[in-house]
Amino acid sequence: DTGVSQDPRHKITKRGQNVTFRCDPISEHNRLYWYRQTLGQGPEFLTYFQNEAQLEKSRLLSDRFSAERPKGSFSTLEIQRTEQGDSAMYLCASSLSGRDTFSGNTIYFGEGSWLTVV
């Protein structure tokens, strides 16, 4: 078990370009999340997958953002026509849902993908 893996770790792009981030969750984890974090703030929820189904998208996720999780394994987050306000660290996380609905499930984060839009 190597943990949640994200690629690339850093990306510098020009405004208007498209970027894509990849996330490989912990094996057998059926839940996958994307969060965004800016300096001095805690991570903010963007979207959530259970297996291959995208079950919720935050209002933070504009039409320029799209996430996929084909076959319920790895996930990609694409940002089209990037803007300077998109500069942030994009965090992927995963967890394993359990039958015990009265206990929380631990969510493990990757190291993040830093995006700088110039």
Partner 1 sequence: EDQVTQSPEALRLQEGESSSLNCSYTVSGLRGLFWYRQDPGKGPEFLFTLYSAGEEKEKERLKATLTKKESFLHITAPKPEDSATYLCAVQGRRGGSNYKLTFGKGTLLTVNP
φ/ψ of 51, rounded to 5, equals 55, -125
* Strand, coil or helix: 46: strand
- Residue in 69, 112, 115, 117 binding partner 1, rule: CB under 8 A: 112
Q: 79 or 92, CB closer to partner 1? A: 92
Q: Which is nearer to partner 1, 79 or 93 (CB)?
A: 93
**Tokens representing 40?**
């001095």
For residue 110 the two structure tokens come to 């990757």
Least distance to partner 1, CB of residue 56, Å: 7
Q: Which strands make up the sheet holding 5-7, listed edge to edge?
A: 5-7, 19-24, 75-79, 65-68
Smallest distance from partner 1 to CB 12, Å: 15
Please give the residue ranges that form the binding site for partner 1 (CB under 8 A).
4, 6, 31, 33, 40-45, 48, 50, 55-56, 91, 95, 97, 101-112, 114
